[in-house]
Amino acid sequence: MAIRMLIRFTPAKPKAGEEYKFQVVAQHPMEPGTRKDAEGKLIPANYINLLEVYFEGQKVAEIRPGPSTSANPLFALKFKAEKPGSFTVKAKDINGDTGEAQAKLELA
């Protein structure tokens, strides 16, 4: 199943030269592998372990979360607004599921 992701910019339309926050929320249970179900059996680990952020095809950040990341995780980075363009985020979990999301950055 593909991983669903949402991208948001704060402020939504930054001015040129302004710093803005780039936030990604992924829909994922992020099982750390240490939790037990109702019968006391360990729930197998299943978490996103790689998140790549591209701006206009160029890689700007690579996030490697460990098992101790919350369910439906939020990842936030900061950038300086220089030119408008499109962001692409690629995610992969340890079971091989992948997800991709895109968002366009517009300048005010």
Partner 1 sequence: MNRRAFLKTTGMALGALAAVRMPALAQGLEGEDLANLEKGLQAALGKGFKDLTPSDAVKLTMPAIAESGANVPAEVEVALPQGQVKAIHLFADKNPTPHLVAVQLMGGLPYYASRVRLAETTAVRAVVETADGKLLLASASTRVTVGGCG
Contacting positions for partner 1 (CB under 8 A): 19, 21-22, 30, 32, 34-36, 53, 55, 58-71, 73-80
Write out the two tokens for 11: 């402020």
- Token pair belonging to 59: 């890689």
The reply to whether omega before 67 is within 30° of 0 (cis) is no
Cβ 45 to partner 1 shortest distance, Å: 10
Report the alpha-carbon distance of residue 99 to residue 92 in Å, rounded.
Answer: 7
Decide whether 2 or 76 has the Cβ nearer to partner 1.
76
Closest CB 22 distance from partner 1, rounded Å: 8
